Structure 1
Amino acid sequence: MRYGEWGYEGIVVTDWGGENDRVAGLVAGNQLEMPSSAGVTDCEIVEAVRAGCINESLLDERVDSLLRLVFESSEQAKARRRFSAAEHMAAAREAACKAAVLVKNEGNVLPLADNARVTVIGEFAKISRYQGAGSSLIVPTRLTSAIDALRKDTELTLVGYEPGFHRFGGKSKRKHNRAVALARRADIALVFLGLDEGSEAEGVDRLHMRLPENQIELLRAVRAVTKTVIAVVSGGSPVEAEWAEYADAVLLTYLGGQECGGAVADLLTGVVSPSGKLAETYPVSYTDVPSAGNYPGKEMTAEHRESIYIGYRYYDAANKPVTWPFGYGLTYTTFDYSELSIERDEVAFTIHNTGARAGEEIAQVYITKKDSAVFRAQKELKGFIKVALVPGETKRVSVRLDEHAFRYFNVAKNAWVEEPGEYDVLVGASSREIRLTLTVARAGESVNTPNAASELPHYYKADPANVSDAEFAALLGRPLPQSGWDREKPLCYHDTIGQGRYKRGFARFLYGMVRTIRRICFLVGHPVAANNVMFAMNLPYRQLARLTGGTVDQAMLDGILVMANGQFWRGLGQTLRACGRKRRRRGPRNEN
């Protein structure tokens, strides 16, 4: 599919430590393994070629693809183009403004008037949560905090700043009380909340969707002593938002990059009108999430029983109440939609700015199949357009539908299929705010449906939370694999360090050591390092040889597994002897 149907011409790179079999990966189309195994898996490829398991021409093909990338990127690197840091900062600020989403603005408390007296509360105002962790961690050319931008770039009167809470959770009565006392001194409080660097990260599953309780308690207390409360929330993913009742306005900045602070200042004061829309749904509670009962997975499997019912495809089909729906977002003006038409695959409509300020609207086009014979989403986003309008301006806009707009993927036919019948074309400001509807008839084609409603009753009722094992197996088309670890079975190459929690001796020691190191990292204020340590918890033993660059070879790994399986001294001796043999093979070091 990748190189054929999609016409992909680039290379395939593994995830960090994610390759199980280097030779099988090579055959499947993988060129580059990350990180380097320092030649360990290269030897596996050489042996496979010598044994006739793979053809040397296949290896040549993979190497050629990789070398093309090397040569092309080397030529680009030689150019050493200059760049303007100031221009890049301006672009980062613009991107952060467009990405932020205003989800509440009761009484039009935003934008703030010039010279408004405000207090700034919350450590996220001073130390921005502007990026993720792991692979996405970068060093910015400059980092602008919200408190600095509010002081430098606005006409607001800042009465003072207090951090208010411990960033990584836990109560501080002194910080809490100082923040509440500060909030009494002005009519407007800007409260900066969010998920800290340890709450969400690559390789670590979230166990809940809540903001830390110390932040919610502070927001509630500030609400009690301040006339107007504006919450600015940073984080990389949705949270339960019952706390929003304590705020008059809520601005979601997500992870806004190095100029996030400047963007917050622009948005709060109306220099820029918010124009972002949610690319996800904010559920009322985590228990409403269709995958809640199966996430983050069982011991050996991660079951996606929700199938197509992800995000708005589930919430809208099941008529679930949500806090903020997919595609939702406010601005400082209002828009009217009218005159919907469709000709061939072009959806056209008119948008009019009915407010007093300039703004941008993201209009969305959804498709609904009436009386579908297959289970599918109640509506599906098929296109959108962003339109900039000054007050009183009207524009006629259009969205082109692609060849898959009315189709679903029929697994029995292994192809995209369009059902015959009537479809509703919906245009709206979010998945829950449909402004225009037009019904169209499509000829389609009549084919057998892959599964009957009697086989998949809960899927047809948009009730994935109650899907049985039999239903899920019917959907998969095969029996369900074993989901739990065999705790009596000796550990092998493909087992993980995390399985040591069910063992004794050295395996349990390794498991405990990883957990202890993670706790220490959190205690000393290094949450990113703490989450990186958890990478080791799910590391198969086979990766020890690869990720240590051959420092631990196969013979040593065999000894470590003997230790992990309850024969510590025998395994230790085996490991040490293997280490000695390896040193002798290398020979004496050249001291020169």
Structure 2
Amino acid sequence: MRERIEELLGKLDLADKVRLISGAGMFRMAGHTGIGLAELPVSDGPSGVRGENWDEREPSVSLPSGTALAATWDRELLDEIGALIAAQARAKDVYAVLGPTINLHRSPLGGRHFECFSEDPMLSAEMAGAYVRAVQAHGVSACPKHYVANDSETDRFSVDVRVDDRALRELYLYPFERSVAAGAWMVMAAYNSVDGTTMTENSLLDEPLKGAWGFDGVVVSDWTAVRSTEGAAAGTDLCMPGPPMLWGAPLEAAVRAGEIPESAIDEKVRRILRFAIRVGALDGSPRPAPEFGDQRAAELVRRAAAAAMVLVRNDGVLPLRASAAGHTVALLGPGAADPRVMGGGSATVIPAHTTTPLTGLSAVLPVTHTPGVWLTEGLSAVAPELITDPDTGTPGLALRYLADGEEIGRQHRATGTLVLFGDATAERATSIELRTRLRAETSGEWRIGVGAMGRVRLELDGELADEGELTMSGADPVAALLHPPQRAVTRTLRAGQVVDIRITIENLLALPGLGVFLGLTLGVTPPRRSEAEEFEAAVQAARAADVAVVVVGTTEQIESEGADRTTLRLPGRQDELVSAVAAVNPRTVVVVNSGAPVEMPWREEVAAVLLSWFPGQEFGGALADVLTGVREPGGRLPTTWPVTMADVPVLDTTPAADGTLTYGEGVHIGYRAWLRSGVEPAYPFGHGLGYTTWELSDLAVSARTATVTVRNTGDRPGKYVVQAYLSRTDSTIDRPVRWLAAFATVTADAGESRRVEITLPQRSFEHWTGQGWAVEPGTFTLHVGASVTDLPLTAEVG
């Protein structure tokens, strides 16, 4: 490979080289026909492969989120997930998937908490390594991100993280180190700075990434994270997106002027060429992808979602049995019919279908349903079945691109939510027009409106209904893209009435380096009962039912890229609803549909609590499987769940006035900080109940290998996650009370015993010093059990 790379490099002049290290488009790496290198599309991909465009006409499989995948503690499941990701990538002609996200859960308030794996560096590293190996086994590159200390969203473009070297090495860098050891072909440099230097120019790209770790792949900038032309002399190899503003022509001029050595550019090009060879792009022969039809993909996502669900409380009500004749399940809560299957931001994909708790549970049990509460006063995207494209007569709407009044493009779109980001036609447009016919399902007051950025004109039945400017309220454009500001009007409609809608948007938002950056929502709110009537209807349904299942959760605005949370409380009256339902039905099950911890003040009032995370497109089927016992809730907590936000020992996500965010807790984050504080959380790291019982015995240690007997003492098959922690009470080093060293996932039939072997890695015994890694002489204590606080077996390890 080395000889071929040098041969190809010799055929390129300076302009060619600079072009190859600068993006050719929003999600496209540059090519060069003279050496047989086509352009290489890449895609966002932590929870599915969207492709180059946000387009419902090119749907993607929606996978469980990062916290959900980590909750499985299952490396073998990641092998299957990686194969599906690779298959989706190849189907979309994508060569690199921008994931996994392997920053840590330093604070539960982190806006992208759902997208990351865990609060623990070892669990994150294991999941990251499995993800990278699985995707790249099929010739598609993974891209672990965001290197490094990009653990919160507040001021994410400019925050300067101050973190001591030991915490940086032992915690935040460790998942990246293990990803490189797994063979990662690409790594993404973050927006933030670390210790005063922006990450796209930070010396951490050289050491340890490219130096001690031997990373020989491509360091790609996060989108627009390149800050200067001179910074091209540093460790970032690929500036995205394109066409470039700070690299490209300015960089070529700087090299010709002798300000940046051409040898620095050559090294970046070598890495680009090595990457192209690995993914089969240089000779036009990418590796064939695994075969994944729609049914096989859906079955895998459904099984993975069930494996991720964590049962944190159960008084015996679960699994549900077939109800007696005439009895029903009251399915309540805002997430029952309108759940969140994914988090917001670049992790968003558009699936061909989703299943809801209502559809999933109704298929197997007699169900009555009402939401009880609504979470938003704003408009929701109109259901496609309520709108008709006036040009085609099919469900959806007509989209026209106009340049100074002249049509330059027309599309039929099948959704009420559009994202025009990286859209070539939108780049040439001066205005955009949406037309559709809305059919009212019920009689009453309907709110009709639009979410967008720019000057908006809304016409109903040919008459002007509203007009005005909608502007971005915050500093992060992602929020404006995915949750644009809204304008709306109210109209009284009768059931079956059809309204012609025309929406025109001018003054389209365009951002430097990103172009047109526009999210559009045709939104409606249909007539509905008053808040008090709806709440009471849910309570009465629960009173009359055999079992009440309440699905609660967060909103798209609360857990999304671009903003950190300010509270761990569930929005709206959800807590009040759960308590009211539990008061009239002792067999109340609460399903928490969030990607990160929330407060659950009612948790001891209800019979069972099941955490579903953001489970992907097969939520409904997976939930029905778990609630009825077809599958076991296989998850264990990858992060600690607090009782209240006030208890959380590490919360800070807000930079100081000088723009710095100090990680003053050092190595004590997550359960480590909880153990040191002595405060008991609602549910500890590693916790999770299945539908059977277990017994551990006969722990033995030989050198750095531990063996233990795991016996299923229940009456059905199940899964057990053997967790091994180390401690050192007499240490001269500032250590956590305990830290995760290794784990193994075991399945066993009723009554079956398994002898499990766990290798304790050298790094689990090491600590970072200014001179490198060291092991403190003496013995460590090994603790083995089911969670960080449930560790019945101990042994000494030398």
Query: Is this a same-fold pair by TM over 0.5?
Result: yes
More strand by share: 2
What does residue 430 of structure 1 align with? 787
Offset of residue 69 of structure 1: 3.2
Q: For residue 312 of structure 2, what is the amino acid of its counterpart?
A: V
Give the direction of change, closer, same or farther, for the CA distance of 1:285–1:27 in structure 2 (3 Å limit): same
Matched residues, number:
433
2:729–2:737 Cα contact (<8 Å) kept: no
Q: For residue 295 of structure 1, what is the amino acid of its counterpart?
A: T
- Residue 534 (structure 2) pairs with residue 175 (structure 1): yes
What does residue 344 of structure 2 align with? 133
Distance (whole Å) between structure 1 residues aligned to residue 630 and residue 229 of structure 2: 54
The correspondence for 2:796, drawn from 408, 433, 439, is: 439
2:649–2:677 Cα contact (<8 Å) kept: no
Instruction: Give the gaps of 5 or more residues in structure 2.
Output: 1-207, 379-529
Q: For residue 98 of structure 1, what is the amino acid of its counterpart?
A: A
2:779 counterpart SS class: strand
Offset of residue 205 of structure 1: 1.1
- Residue 374 (structure 2) pairs with residue 166 (structure 1): yes
Q: For residue 369 of structure 2, what is the amino acid of its counterpart?
A: Y
Q: 1:416-495 to 2 correspondence within 5 Å?
A: 416-440=773-797, 442=798
The correspondence for 2:762, drawn from 398, 403, 407, is: 403
2:724–2:782 Cα contact (<8 Å) kept: yes
Q: For residue 757 of structure 2, what is the amino acid of its counterpart?
A: S
Please identify, of 428-437 and 79-88, the stretch whose mean Cα deviation from structure 2 is larger: 79-88
Offset of residue 148 of structure 1: 0.7
2:374–2:572 Cα contact (<8 Å) kept: no
Offset of residue 73 of structure 1: 5.0
Q: Tell me the TM-score normalized by structure 2.
A: 0.53
Give the direction of change, closer, same or farther, for the CA distance of 1:214–1:352 in structure 2 (3 Å limit): same
- Residue 304 (structure 2) pairs with residue 95 (structure 1): yes
Structure 1 residues 141-191: Cα deviation after superposition (integer angstroms, max 9, x where no partner): 321111111122x2x221x11111112379922321221122122121000
Offset of residue 60 of structure 1: 2.2
What does residue 63 of structure 1 align with? 269
Offset of residue 339 of structure 1: 0.5
What does residue 210 of structure 1 align with? 569
Distance (whole Å) between structure 2 residues aligned to residue 336 and residue 79 of structure 1: 45
What's the % identity of the aligned pairs? 37
Q: For residue 181 of structure 1, what is the amino acid of its counterpart?
A: Q
Please identify, of 42-51 and 195-204, the stretch whose mean Cα deviation from structure 2 is larger: 42-51
Distance (whole Å) between structure 1 residues aligned to residue 574 and residue 675 of structure 2: 31
- Residue 240 (structure 2) pairs with residue 34 (structure 1): yes
Offset of residue 81 of structure 1: 6.6
2:604 counterpart SS class: helix
What does residue 214 of structure 2 align with? 7
2:723–2:740 Cα contact (<8 Å) kept: yes
What does residue 749 of structure 2 align with? 390
Offset of residue 376 of structure 1: 1.0
Q: 1:530-549 to 2 correspondence within 5 Å?
A: none
Q: For residue 43 of structure 1, what is the amino acid of its counterpart?
A: A
- Residue 318 (structure 2) pairs with residue 110 (structure 1): yes
Q: For residue 320 of structure 1, what is the amino acid of its counterpart?
A: V
Distance (whole Å) between structure 2 residues aligned to residue 226 and residue 372 of structure 1: 51
Structure 1 residues 354-393: Cα deviation after superposition (integer angstroms, max 9, x where no partner): 1111100001000001211111101110110111011110
Q: For residue 642 of structure 2, what is the amino acid of its counterpart?
A: P
Distance (whole Å) between structure 2 residues aligned to residue 238 and residue 272 of structure 1: 24
Distance (whole Å) between structure 2 residues aligned to residue 234 and residue 29 of structure 1: 40
Structure 1 residues 300-320: Cα deviation after superposition (integer angstroms, max 9, x where no partner): 111111111101111112322
Structure 1 residues 320-369: Cα deviation after superposition (integer angstroms, max 9, x where no partner): 21100000000011100011111111111101111111100001000001
Distance (whole Å) between structure 2 residues aligned to residue 307 and residue 196 of structure 1: 32
Offset of residue 262 of structure 1: 1.1
Q: For residue 146 of structure 1, what is the amino acid of its counterpart?
A: P
Larger Rg: 1
Give the direction of change, closer, same or farther, for the CA distance of 1:266–1:22 in structure 2 (3 Å limit): farther
What does residue 121 of structure 1 align with? 332
Distance (whole Å) between structure 2 residues aligned to residue 390 and residue 148 of structure 1: 31
1:123–1:163 Cα contact (<8 Å) kept: yes
Structure 1 residues 483-511: Cα deviation after superposition (integer angstroms, max 9, x where no partner): xxxxxxxxxxxxxxxxxxxxxxxxxxxxx
2:312–2:611 Cα contact (<8 Å) kept: yes
Give the direction of change, closer, same or farther, for the CA distance of 1:164–1:370 in structure 2 (3 Å limit): same
Q: For residue 266 of structure 2, what is the amino acid of its counterpart?
A: D
2:226–2:246 Cα contact (<8 Å) kept: no
- Residue 224 (structure 2) pairs with residue 17 (structure 1): yes
2:586–2:607 Cα contact (<8 Å) kept: no
1:110–1:249 Cα contact (<8 Å) kept: yes
Give the direction of change, closer, same or farther, for the CA distance of 1:121–1:390 in structure 2 (3 Å limit): same
What does residue 654 of structure 2 align with? 296
1:169–1:214 Cα contact (<8 Å) kept: no
1:220 counterpart SS class: helix
Give the direction of change, closer, same or farther, for the CA distance of 1:385–1:18 in structure 2 (3 Å limit): same
More helix by share: 1
Distance (whole Å) between structure 2 residues aligned to residue 419 and residue 197 of structure 1: 47
What does residue 355 of structure 2 align with? 144
Offset of residue 70 of structure 1: 4.2
1:404 counterpart SS class: helix
Q: 1:323-338 to 2 correspondence within 5 Å?
A: 323-338=682-697
Distance (whole Å) between structure 2 residues aligned to residue 402 and residue 78 of structure 1: 33
Q: RMSD value over aligned CA atoms?
A: 1.9
- Residue 559 (structure 2) pairs with residue 348 (structure 1): no
Give the direction of change, closer, same or farther, for the CA distance of 1:102–1:22 in structure 2 (3 Å limit): farther
The correspondence for 1:366, drawn from 721, 725, 738, is: 725
1:122–1:163 Cα contact (<8 Å) kept: yes
Give the direction of change, closer, same or farther, for the CA distance of 1:426–1:82 in structure 2 (3 Å limit): closer
Q: Tell me the TM-score normalized by structure 1.
A: 0.70
Q: For residue 272 of structure 2, what is the amino acid of its counterpart?
A: L
1:425 counterpart SS class: strand
1:169–1:212 Cα contact (<8 Å) kept: no
Structure 1 residues 405-460: Cα deviation after superposition (integer angstroms, max 9, x where no partner): 2111123x2x11111123110001000001200123x3xxxxxxxxxxxxxxxxxx
